[in-house]
Structures are given as C-alpha cells and as structure tokens.
Structure 1
Amino acid sequence: MHAQSRSPSPSVLRCRVYYEDTDAGGIVYYVNYLKFMERARTERLRALGYAQSELARDGLLFVVHSSEARYHAPARLDDELLIGAEVVEAKRASLRFYQEVRRAEDEVLLCEGWVTVACVRADSFRPRAIPTAMRTVLAGNPASIQSGD
C-alpha cells in the first residue's frame, strides 16, 4: 500500500504542534506521532457514536496490540496537523487502522502508521468479540468484515 496513492482518510483530526510535543530543535519527537494517532482513533470512534468512556462502562475496551510507523518529513512547532484514522481490517476481536499525519498547510505526508487494536473485557483484559453491529459501523465497508461471532 503506497501512501502517495491513497486518498485522505475519511476521518481527520486537526491539531496544533505545541512546545511540549517537540525536542530541543523544535521538531516533533517521534513517539508523539503515536499520541496524535491515538487521539485520531478515539475521535473516529466518537464520531461513529462510540465514546470510549461509555464502552468501558459497558465492559469493552480497545487496547493497542501492535503499531508500525514510517516517518517521511518532520513536523515543527506551531504546525497544524491533519491526522487520519481509517479502519482497513475488522476481525472478530481486533481492528487494524491505517493512519496518516499530514501538515495542514501543504498536506505533505509526515508520518504514516498501521495500528492494530484488540477488543478486551474491561474487568479481565481478556479478548472478547467486537459486537457485529459495531464492527460493521467501524469498518464502514462490509467486505472487510470477517465473521466469526
């Protein structure tokens, strides 16, 4: 999957780079891209009607299972960023997201990542199935849904 040929993610979070996000040179510290991506995933869920606080009360949590990031260009202090979060695979108990971080001014790709989140029980952190209706809504593409409930 080549990033330059992809269309922008359907869900985009806008945020500003603050001093706390940068190193001594005013460049975003590499791990902070993962924080930006986390926020975008959370807002993607919220936009689809699934606030994480409500899910936790219902006994369901999403936890990061694995992540991969590729860094293409630096973000700098005061840049406005566009962070996308798109579900590219929905399995019985996990979701795989493709994420992009772009500079808003010129839409240059700064970082891209793939994050897999697992669905677990809030009380035991044991894997649990994502409710089928939720999986369908989150994926937004019934062809990418894998059955098994």
Structure 2
Amino acid sequence: MDELLAPGLTVVPAGETWFRYNVRVQPHDTDYSGHVWHGASLRWLEAARVECLRSVGMDFADLVRLGIDLPVVSLETRYHQPLRLGDRAMVLTRLIPPERLRLHWEYRVLVEDRLCLSAWVTLVTVDRPQGKVFRAFPVDLAVAIAKLNASFG
C-alpha cells in the first residue's frame, strides 16, 4: 500500500465487495509496547462505518438531525496480528443484509496482505426523542441500507 487510497468500494481477492477506509497508526493509537491499543481499532471501525454510510448519502449529521441513534448492542473482535506505530492499515467493512431491525457490520483490518483484525458489530435503530427501538427502519436509513445491499450484493 504505497499510497493511501481514498475511501470507497473495493473488491478483495475472494471477489467480495467491501467499503475501504484507510488509516495510519499514530502515536496516540499505541500502548506502551508500541502495538495498537484495542480501543483505537474500535474508533477505526466506527469511522469506516460512518464513511460507508456517507458514501451512499446518509451523513451521520443527518441521522442526528432525524433523531436516529444507532447504538452498538454486540461487538466481537479477533486480533490476528499486531499493528504498529506508522503502519498503513486498510479497514474493510460491509453491511450484512439486515436481520429484522438489526444492522450487522463485518470488518477486516489489513496491513498490506496481512490480516490483523476481524470484527463484527451489531447496531439497533433507536428513536432518540422517544428512547425506544424503532419498529421499522426510518425511511432515509432504509434507502441507505438498500443502496449498501445493492453495492455489496
């Protein structure tokens, strides 16, 4: 990865389509050993998810304006190999077709061809003013989900 590519769709060797978000490991991302601290990778996952939604016209500021929260209800991470200060990492994410009203996101974090982290995050849609889970996806979010499903096939 000589140059960091702009965020966007990418096809991995297995023929799967993922959204690509690039990061460089900064000093504040590391712990005393020089390896990426686990909390830093969680920020990258969220940033990739936010940018992926933005790529289909669903800006996070619009979600806030519409009173839609997307809290994480489940998170699983697997650390395969460490990332180190200065590494250029590619965060790949894709939305798995929704199951009921849950949004399942899958992630891979790679440095060159080296798989460093796998993750799965599940979100629910909450009506912030009411403090209750939506019974159906809000229209604007449903449109974005449909676009993502079409992109990821």
Q: Do the aligned residues in 1 keep the contact of 2:30 with 2:85 (CA within 8 Å)?
A: yes
1:45-85 Cα offsets, whole Å, 9 max, x none, are 01111001111111212111111001100000010110011
Give the C-alpha shift of residue 9 in structure 1: 4.7
Out of 115, 130, 145, the position equivalent to 1:124 is 130
Q: How many residues align?
A: 138
Output the CA distance in 1 between the equivalents of 2:88 and 2:74: 27
Out of 18, 24, 28, the position equivalent to 1:16 is 24
Query: TM-score scaled to structure 1, two decimals?
Result: 0.83
More strand by percentage: 2
Output the CA distance in 1 between the equivalents of 2:144 and 2:41: 27
1:15-48 Cα offsets, whole Å, 9 max, x none, are 1100100011110012221111111001000111
Corresponding residue of 1:32: 40
C-alpha root-mean-square deviation of aligned residues, in Å?
A: 2.2
Task: Summarize the Cα distance change of 1:141–1:77 in structure 2 as closer, same or farther, 3 Å threshold.
Answer: closer
Q: Do the aligned residues in 2 keep the contact of 1:9 with 1:85 (CA within 8 Å)?
A: no
Structure 2 unaligned spans of 5+? 1-12
Corresponding residue of 1:110: 116
Structure 1 stretch displaced more, 55-64 or 39-48: 55-64
Structure 1 unaligned spans of 5+? 144-149
Corresponding residue of 1:83: 91
- How high is the sequence identity, in percent, across the aligned residues? 28
Output the CA distance in 2 between the equivalents of 1:35 and 1:6: 26
Query: TM-score scaled to structure 2, two decimals?
Result: 0.81
